[in-house]
């Protein structure tokens, strides 16, 4: 059974896509069969894996329209153990059609269930909003990972997003967990980064990942090369941080599996 993680936050530019791409690649490097689903019409995760969304006939659009079996939207990447359902909802029409179709919030969840046996992890990248696409991701997910840029702390924004998670729990997905808050673009030299970290750990305690993602040129440059950062510069601090995050997740997943086999 695939463990499904939605990377989400209504705030733009906090590192959602960078996290979705590099976490997926790090899970794949650990030989965990992984699927990345790019739910953002901007298609940045697809581009980061060298997929040009305008040339794609099968992708996320077909998943929501349910006009093909979901496996037909899956593309293999150059990274072993990593596949992607790219975003091909670049036209306004496509986006409007999806908006109408996804009034049924469980469409994506049901499609991904059909792929459950093929992957150990499914990671979803979502757009910077609380729109139908983000809600669809939360409905399909086992848990949500919330990146937090270590340069700005907005208590209200978190509370608003957590309310959305609670609404999804109450309505369609009672088992949705918060996987954790992930500090991103952390610059150890600034007081602000430390202040944001302190405020976040004070408020959310163990829900904040031990791993912190540093500000790293390698992470910013990799998308232009169409490869995840570990395959451009595996020794960079950014790439190593995402490997550490993947290990944190794999260890948790092993614990959950042990627990399930006992009960
Ligand atoms: N740790 C990092 N170090 C340096 N640059 C980073 C890091 N994380 C992200 N970036 C850069 O910051 C910008 C925003 O990151 P990203 O696209 O991952 O955020 P996002 O939350 O997905 O944005 P959007 O809300 O627009 O989808 C990008 O240019 C990205 O390359
Ligand atoms: Mg993004």
Centre of ligand 2 to C-alpha 165, Å, is 19
Query: Is the minimum distance from the CB of 240 to ligand 1 under 6 angstroms?
Result: no
Which ligand is nearest the CA of 145, by number? 1
Ligand nearest to the CA of 238: 1
Could you tell me the distance, in angstroms and rounded to a whole number, from the CA of residue 212 to the centre of ligand 1? Answer: 15
Residue 144 DSSP SS3: strand
Q: How many CA atoms lie within 13 A of 78 on its CB side?
A: 12
Q: How far does the centroid of ligand 2 lie from the alpha carbon of residue 204, in Å?
A: 24
pLDDT at 102: 79
Pair of tokens at residue 104: 């049924």
Q: How far apart are CA 200 and CA 248, in angstroms?
A: 19
Q: Which residues pair with 183 in a beta bridge?
A: 148
* Average pLDDT over every residue of 209-238: 97
d(CA 109, CA 114): 9
Atom of ligand 1 nearest to the CA of 215: 3
pLDDT given for residue 259 in this prediction: 79
Ligand 2 centre to CA of 44 (Å) is: 6
Superfamily name with CATH number, domain 3-262: P-loop containing nucleotide triphosphate hydrolases (3.40.50.300)
Q: Is 252 a residue whose pLDDT tops 80?
A: yes
pLDDT at residue 202, rounded to an integer: 95
Q: Grade residue 55 by pLDDT with cuts at 50, 70 and 90.
A: low
Residue in the structure block whose two tokens are 């990274």: 79
User: Alpha-carbon torsion 246, 28, 253, 10, what sign?
Assistant: positive
Alpha carbon of 96 to ligand 1 centroid (Å): 26
Range in 45-59, 163-177, 242-256 with the lowest mean pLDDT: 45-59
Distance between CA atoms of residues 145 and 126, nearest Å = 11
Terminal-residue alpha carbon distance, the chain: 17
The residues facing 122 across adjacent strands are: 4, 35
Confidence of residue 247 (pLDDT cuts 50, 70, 90): very high
Nearest atom of ligand 1 to the alpha carbon of 13? 23
CA distance linking residue 192 with residue 142, whole number of Å: 32
Q: Using an 8 Å Cβ cutoff, are 208 and 180 in contact?
A: yes
Report the SS3 class of residue 67: coil
- 219 Cβ below 6 A of ligand 1: yes
Q: CB–CB of 133/126 below 8 Å?
A: yes
* 236 Cβ below 6 A of ligand 1: no
Kindly provide the residue ranges of all beta strands, DSSP E only, lying in the chain, ordered along the sequence.
Answer: 3-7, 34-38, 75-76, 82-85, 121-125, 143-149, 177-184
The domain ranges of the chain are: 3-262
pLDDT of residue 242: 98
Q: What is the C-alpha to C-alpha distance for residues 262 and 171, in angstroms, rounded to an integer?
A: 30
Determine the distance from the C-alpha atom of residue 8 to the mean position of all C-alpha atoms in its chain, rounded to a whole number.
7
Length of the chain: 263
pTM of the entire predicted model: 0.96
Ligand 1 in reach of 185 Cβ (< 6 A): yes
Instruction: Using the mean position of ligand 2's atoms as its centre, give its distance from the Cα of residue 220 in Å.
Output: 12
| Per-residue pLDDT tens over the stretch 92-139 | 788 888 888 878 889 999 999 999 999 999 999 999 999 899 999 999
* Residues 157/10, Cβ–Cβ less than 8 Å: yes
- CA–CA distance, 18 with 165 (Å, rounded to integer): 22
Distance 45 CA to ligand 2 centre (A): 7
Nearest CA to ligand 1 atom 10: 220
Q: Is 48 in the pocket of ligand 1 (CB under 6 A)?
A: no
Cβ of 18 closer than 6 Å to ligand 1, yes or no, is yes
What mean pLDDT is predicted for residues 5-32?
A: 97
């Amino acid at each position: 059974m695939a463990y499904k993680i939605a990377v989400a936050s209504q705030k733009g530019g906090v590192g959602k896509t960078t996290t979705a791409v590099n976490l997926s690649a790090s899970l794949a490097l650990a030989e965990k069969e992984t699927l990345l689903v790019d739910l953002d019409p901007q298609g940045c995760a697809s581009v980061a894996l060298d997929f040009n969304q305008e040339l794609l006939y099968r992708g996320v659009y077909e998943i929501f329209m349910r006009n093909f079996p979901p496996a037909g939207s899956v593309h293999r990447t150059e990274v072993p153990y990593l596949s992607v359902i790219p975003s091909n909802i670049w036209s306004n029409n496509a986006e409007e059609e999806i908006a109408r179709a996804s009034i049924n919030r469980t469409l994506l969840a049901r499609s991904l269930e059909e792929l459950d046996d093929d992957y150990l992890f499914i990671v979803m990248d979502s757009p910077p909003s609380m729109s139908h696409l983000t809600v669809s991701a939360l409905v399909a997910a086992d848990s949500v990972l919330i990146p937090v840029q270590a340069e700005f702390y907005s208590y209200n924004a978190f509370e608003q997003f957590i309310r959305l998670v609670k609404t999804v729990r109450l309505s369609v997905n009672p088992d949705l967990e918060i996987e954790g808050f992930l500090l991103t673009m952390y610059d150890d030299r600034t007081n602000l980064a430390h202040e944001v970290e302190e405020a976040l750990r004070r408020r959310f305690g163990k829900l904040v990942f031990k791993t912190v993602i540093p500000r790293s040129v390698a992470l910013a440059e990799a998308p232009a090369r169409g490869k995840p950062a570990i395959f451009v510069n595996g020794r960079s601090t950014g790439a190593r941080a995402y490997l550490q995050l993947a290990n944190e997740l794999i260890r948790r997943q092993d614990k959950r599996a042990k627990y399930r086999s006992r009960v």
